[in-house]
Amino acid sequence: MSLPNHFELLATDGNARTGRLTTPHGAVRTPAFMPVGTAGAMKGMHWREVRDAGADIVLGNTYHLMLRPGAERIAALGGLQTFTGWNGPMLTDSGGFQVMSLSELRKVSENAVTFRSHIDGAKVELSPERSIEVQRLLGSDIAMQMDECVRLPAERDDIERAMRLSLRWAERSKRAFETAPAGYMLFGIVQGGDVPELRRRSAEALVEIGFHGYAIGGLAVGEPQAVMLAMIEETAPVLSADRPRYLMGVGTPEDILEAVARGIDMFDCVMPTRNGRHGVAFTRFGPVNLRNARHADDPRPLDEESAWPSARSYSRAYLHHLVKSGETLGAMLLSEINIAYYQQLMQDIRAAIAGDRFEDFQKQTRADWARGDIAAKP
């Protein structure tokens, strides 16, 4: 059974698309990159900086938030947007990936996943129904179905078992979501590892079930980029063209360009803030490692043409000093510079698609990355 559609496709250029997704907390311009606020906070950044950088939507993590401070507590305090102060569109994942990746002691059954909390060792059961309940208590605009994600490489039998279980959980997730208020959305998640046939079968079955949008999960988990792109090519054409398509956990600027060219509308990744905390800035020159000694005496800014003030205002020498000294300010500045770069990239992608020049934009962007950083100061 189909669900109401809140996505408007505005323009296409080849397989690349730009559109608008309307949520209870505002509109999301697509293609969109969602900064990750795992535990209800963006590491090293204030929410106003995330908004000023151009983000329309952010991601919260069901697993972490249900364990601390607790979904019921957040609901009593007004929901995740009020609790955090973001007050904009928010997507929450189902918690399934974190259960698989963070919990050493876990048991997967038809009914649920049982695991030990990484915080205090308490035994927790997460079923599709509980996952949806938690996400509704959080008040996220977009909830994700409960699924099982298998790390690659894996045996086909294990991949198919997880894919089939995820489909059964998709049906249960949809039934549990039926009481959600109008305007809120539930996305299904395509699984199937690196097996094209399983990817297609998963996508076809999810479209038959019917969701507000569709995600491609189980990628960016260790497989080569070529495998990821091949699975997108197998999957995206099967998904409803009038619904948003979300590639989970991706990724690098190059990954995003490639995925947009294959029809993907939404992305999320911890990379901008994580790399910022480790001294790496994303720029139009490609990644720049501020730990390198070449920056120690360089009075020039990171990028004098950047639209983001911090990329223009602070010298490379100062950023290098902050990073090498372990100063918190260094991680904060590079995190905001990276989030701003990603949002500028998405803005430029949307404009290129709308202007029917996405292919030229890809070529120019890759050429800029290939030229690399400016020469070291003599």
Is 93 marked active-site? yes
Q: What is the CA radius of gyration of the chain?
A: 21
Dist CA 338 CA 351 (whole Å): 20
| C-alpha dist (Å) from residue 222 to 1, 44, 69, 232, 233 | 35, 27, 31, 15, 18
Residue 82 dihedral angles phi and psi, to the nearest 5° = -65, -40
Is 268 marked active-site? yes
- Helix 253-260 crosses helix 225-235 at what angle (to 10 degrees)? 30
- Cβ–Cβ < 8 Å for 11, 353: yes
13, 147, 268, 303: which is the annotated catalytic residue? Answer: 268
Q: Which residues contact 183 (CB under 8 A, 6 or more apart)?
A: 6, 22, 23, 24, 141
Among 282, 287, 290, 330, smallest CA distance to 306 is for 282
Q: Which amino acid is at 307?
A: A
93, 194, 303, 373: which is the annotated catalytic residue? Answer: 93
Which two structure tokens, joined as six digits, stand for 369?
Answer: 């990355």
CA 376 to chain centre: 34
Provide the 10 A C-beta neighbour count for residue 95. Answer: 25
What positions carry a catalytic annotation? 93, 268
